[in-house]
Amino acid sequence: MLSIRLVADPTGFDALVLPVRPVTPPVDGPRPDTTGPDTPEAPPGATPIAEVPPTSLALPADLLAEANALLPLVELTGTAGASHLTVRALREPRRLLLVGIGAGDEAGWRAAGAAIARTAAHETSITIAMPSDAGTEAVRGLAEGLWLASYRFRLPEPAEVADRDAELGEVLVAVADPDAHQTALNLARVTARTTRLARDLTNTPSSVKSPEWLADQIVAAAAEYPELRIRVRDPEQLAEEGFGGILAVGGGSATGPRLVELGWQPADARTHVVLVGKGITFDTGGISIKPRDAMKLMRKDMAGAAAILAATIGAAALRLPVRITALAPLAENMVSGSAFRPGDVVRHYGGLTSETTNSDAEGRLVLADALAYAVEQLEPDLLINIATLTGANAVALGKRHGALYSENDELARALIDAGREAGELSWRMPLPNDYVEYLGSDIADLYSAPAAGAGSVTAALFLREFTGPLRDRWVHVDMSAPSWAEGNDGVLAKGATGYGVRTLLRWLGGLE
């Protein structure tokens, strides 16, 4: 991650970033004189629709005048994330970047940070002059935008290849009182670091990412925080304890399944939250095999597990006063002579059985085991599961929203609001009782993959059957669509998005 430092009075900067905010144009009267020496004149009669606000950094008057005069010429209106780079070859700073901050709230600064990270990607160092009235939310948003948008996934490669492309190395953020913003910067650092961890795990090709490998990565990451407790169950232990869904899905692979249980239990915790995340390290669809195009990105089918594990590590880093247990059932859904078959009946943890006629609806089988275990053995106050569960998520809501299901209005609203504040979107979906009949089976307790009904809804209804007395304190988020970005967009880099980490950390941070 690039270095971001808060400073009060930087000197000698070669590249300077100035914020731009929208202003309400005057109804009448002369246009304010924003020109300065050697500065191009704005067209006669033009009314400025944006301005550079006063900053905590003492800057020459002619530099500010030049910047303000440029705004109408380059049609920069202060929209969050809009930017313009000016080269000043014979003057300092030699490069001046103007970037819109919108309303100046956290979201606006997050968009600005992302724009700076991309526009200034080849600078060695840049200085950002923050407005004199910037609050802690502005620093947090800026830092998150910088760290998240500058993300790039790399497989291990020789140093000479890794150094071939220059990257932004240092950002100096000029504020009046650096100490007042250190907590906000640390929040942003932990949030970005754990989101980047989730992205790394999800982007890793499945030729490397077996269930065992993924479990080992979490063990290594958790080792930084000795108070985290971790247990990894292997296939033999899963069989002894009755995790039939995980074993069925992982049975066709040459690399056996795992169940990662990661716990954070601070002494002052009053609320226990269990997070469950789907961890299919590659999904061929099994015997109900996927078409080629649908299979190409199935290394991302463990994004839910990556999100809940990274969020738990983040909670430990922030020392949040909430007890958290993360459960990540990990399996590879492959085609072989030992793969589970359409028509098989699976006995889940706790004894419920399910008939499956579609081996490509495997995620709900491993989640069902983990949910049932959480209810029976962990007795949490709240139960949250997140999964790349269905393609129907994208059909209903597009590529930026997760589909959120819950019977608890307050809990659903809290998670949606936390996601909005963090920059991740979700939309609440219904759990209609008239679809429950589709879960009926002639030979098992449940039918796991009904062809009738809305696909994302029936998958959520199936999972609900394993929540027992926690049914009214449970949330399921289907995040298949927003787990992946087709290209760079704001804080999202092409590839895995790390969706869910920021929402969970924001929500967990607000729990008592």
Q: Which residue has tokens 């994330």?
A: 81
Tell me, what DSSP letter sits at residue 469? G
CA-to-CA distance for 249 and 330, rounded, in angstroms?
9
**Three-state SS annotation for 335-350:** CCCCCCCCCCEEECCC
CA-to-CA distance for 330 and 414, rounded, in angstroms?
28
DSSP H helices, 389-444, are 392-397, 409-422
Q: Decide if 15 contacts 129 (C-beta within 8 A).
A: no
Q: Decide if 46 contacts 103 (C-beta within 8 A).
A: no
Three-class DSSP category at 206: coil
Q: Which one is catalytic: 31, 94, 189, 290?
A: 290
CA dihedral for 201, 206, 211, 216, sign (positive or negative): negative
DSSP H helices, 120-181, are 136-149, 159-162
Enter the tokens of residue 223.
């080792």
CA-to-CA distance for 373 and 312, rounded, in angstroms?
18
CA-to-CA distance for 389 and 278, rounded, in angstroms?
8
The yes-or-no answer on residue 364 being catalytic is: yes
Q: Where are the beta strands (DSSP E) in 175-299?
A: 229-233, 258-264, 272-277, 279-283
Q: Which one is catalytic: 196, 278, 347, 364?
A: 364
Query: CA nearest 314: which of 275, 279, 268, 278?
Result: 275
CA-to-CA distance for 280 and 276, rounded, in angstroms?
13
Most distant CA pair in the chain: distance in Å?
Answer: 85
Three-class DSSP category at 321: coil
The yes-or-no answer on residue 278 being catalytic is: no
Give the DSSP H/E element, type plus range, for residue 285.
none
CB atoms within 10 A of CB 350: 18
Give the DSSP H/E element, type plus range, for residue 333.
strand 323-333
CA-to-CA distance for 196 and 306, rounded, in angstroms?
10
CA-to-CA distance for 386 and 198, rounded, in angstroms?
13
Active site (catalytic) residues:
290, 364
